[in-house]
Amino acid sequence: MTLYKKLGLDSTIGIIGGGQLGKMLAVAANTMGYKTIILDPSDKACARVVCDEFICGAFDDEAALKKLAEKADLITYEFENIPASSIKLLEDEGAYIPQGFHALAISQDRLREKKALEKAGFKLADYRKVDTRQDLEKAVEEMGLPCILKTRSGGYDGKGQVSIDSLEDLDQASKLLEVACILEKKLKFDKEVSAVCVKSVKGDLDILPIGINEHRNGILHISLVSHESKKIEEIEKAVENFFEEFQITGILTIELFIVDGHLVANEIAPRPHNSGHWSLDGANVSQFEQAIRAITGLELIKSKALANTAMINLLGQHYEYLEKYIDDLGSFSKIHLYGKDGNIYNRKIGHINIVDDDMESLEEKVNLVDKLINNG
Ligand code: ADP
Ligand code: MG
């Protein structure tokens, strides 16, 4: 029997991290009647305006963490780079953190992540642990080119990785070796997809309809979910094993490649995911509501897409065109802006969801939006 705590409807949910994911989690929690308290190092964190209480403090600030533990009935997080020591401190203070630390620890180290995914039964690209130039040369010889060298921790949006397409790239790639790395075989994938998976503290599991993702400059550009998108049976067992083996509850996203019709796992994120934002308008339950339901002990909703849905990311450089062409974006563009402090180049400031029963018409709208936000 699973032991869990069912939260009263007037409880307070603590969220570590006050970016857009924390904001959308807080809005979902608030809609369901919970109070929210958010911890973030920046006093301009965009989630600040939607929470009941805000604590400004670093993620390892003991006093701030203790305050959070004292005031929140349950704590969750919106990002994966929280120090293990902070979670330990919160637990020592008696905090209830159903998402736990296992998924964080796994996602903070690509080597540990690969081994965990492999253990659960996912297929992976061939990889090697690489710490020195010698390791790198040996791994390249064994695996053949092309490959990608990635830092084991700290990478995001394509940062902390170098492609090695020919031996001439080795010198450039070696510069990454100041920190521990892994070398991965570069796959010729047909598509990139992601599975937003949610396991409730009661033990129920739901996988949101799978979105197809397209990146530009290493940053997610669009996620597309077809009305007919099936929950992919091929990975269901591995997803179940993964949650079970590592005692994970709450929300966790698995990024995958489709190679020759098969799914190959890339990495995990133990939190709501950018590729799941389509569900705010295109599904019967958003990833944020489902995440809150999972940790508070409510029943999960069996998720489904209501129609074909596309989510297009808005970056800092798109803001001026969004303003300029706002009328042309039409009634079909559901605009979500996060209220970030400044519109920084290549930083996510919002997204647009488009929902349409007809795939061709959806694609036309996507092309129009893409054109408009890039200066018409
Ligand atoms: P992060 O999202 O943390 O920056 P990822 O491992 O997801 O790191 O890599 C970013 C992008 O680089 C992926 O979405 C994919 O487009 C590409 N990529 C990563 N690993 C591989 C691989 N082994 N083969 C081919 N492309 C890859
Ligand atoms: Mg990724």
Give the model confidence (pLDDT) of 326-360 as tens digits: 999 989 999 999 999 999 999 999 999 999 999 99
CA nearest to 159, candidates 347, 22, 314, 351? 347
Rounded CA gap, 210 and 214, in Å?
13
Mutate to test the pocket of ligand 1, among 147, 217, 266 (most ligand atoms within 8 A of CB): 266
- Global pTM reads 0.95
- 262 and 163 together in one domain: no
In a domain, residue 231? The reply is yes
Q: Could you tell me the pLDDT band of residue 2, with boundaries at 50, 70 and 90?
A: very low
The ligand that comes nearest to the alpha carbon of residue 155 is 1
Task: Supply the pLDDT for residue 270.
Answer: 95
How far, in Å, is the centroid of ligand 2 from the Cα of 147? 16
Atom of ligand 1 at shortest distance to CA of 255? 7
Task: Supply the pLDDT for residue 232.
Answer: 78
Q: How many residues does the chain have?
A: 376
Task: Supply the pLDDT for residue 3.
Answer: 58
How far, in Å, is the centroid of ligand 1 from the Cα of 83? 24
Q: Could you tell me the pLDDT band of residue 156, with boundaries at 50, 70 and 90?
A: confident
Give the model confidence (pLDDT) of 222-251 as tens digits: 999 988 766 678 889 999 999 999 999 999
How far, in Å, is the centroid of ligand 2 from the Cα of 138? 26
Q: Could you tell me the pLDDT band of residue 1, with boundaries at 50, 70 and 90?
A: very low
Task: Supply the pLDDT for residue 35.
Answer: 97
Q: Could you tell me the pLDDT band of residue 84, with boundaries at 50, 70 and 90?
A: confident
pLDDT at 9 over 90: no
Task: Supply the pLDDT for residue 231.
Answer: 65
CATH of residue 174? 3.30.1490.20
Mean pLDDT of 104-115: 96
In a domain, residue 344? The reply is yes
How far, in Å, is the centroid of ligand 1 from the Cα of 257? 9
Give the model confidence (pLDDT) of 276-287 as tens digits: 999 999 999 999
* Ligand 1: lining residues by beta carbon, under 6 Å: 125, 148, 155-158, 184, 186-187, 192, 215, 218, 255, 266-267
Give the model confidence (pLDDT) of 286-338 as tens digits: 999 999 999 999 999 999 999 999 999 999 999 999 999 999 998 999 999 99
In a domain, residue 359? The reply is yes
* Number of domains comprising the chain: 3
- Name the domain boundary from 163, 185, 207: 185
Q: Which residues constitute the domain of residue 72?
A: 12-97
Mean pLDDT of 54-61: 98
Q: At what angle do helices 62-71 and 84-92 cross, to 10 degrees?
A: 50
Residues 6 or more apart whose CB falls under 8 angstroms from that of 168 comprise none
- Mean pLDDT score across all residues of the chain: 95
- 171 and 216 together in one domain: no
Closest residue (by CA) to atom 10 of ligand 1?
158
In a domain, residue 107? The reply is no
Atom of ligand 1 at shortest distance to CA of 125? 23
Mean pLDDT of 101-112: 94
Q: Could you tell me the pLDDT band of residue 258, with boundaries at 50, 70 and 90?
A: very high
Give me Rg for the CA atoms of the chain: 21
- 334 and 195 together in one domain: yes
In a domain, residue 4? The reply is no
Residues 34 and 48 sit within 8 Å (Cβ to Cβ):
no
CATH of residue 49? 3.40.50.20
Helices (H) and strands (E) in the chain, counts: 12, 18
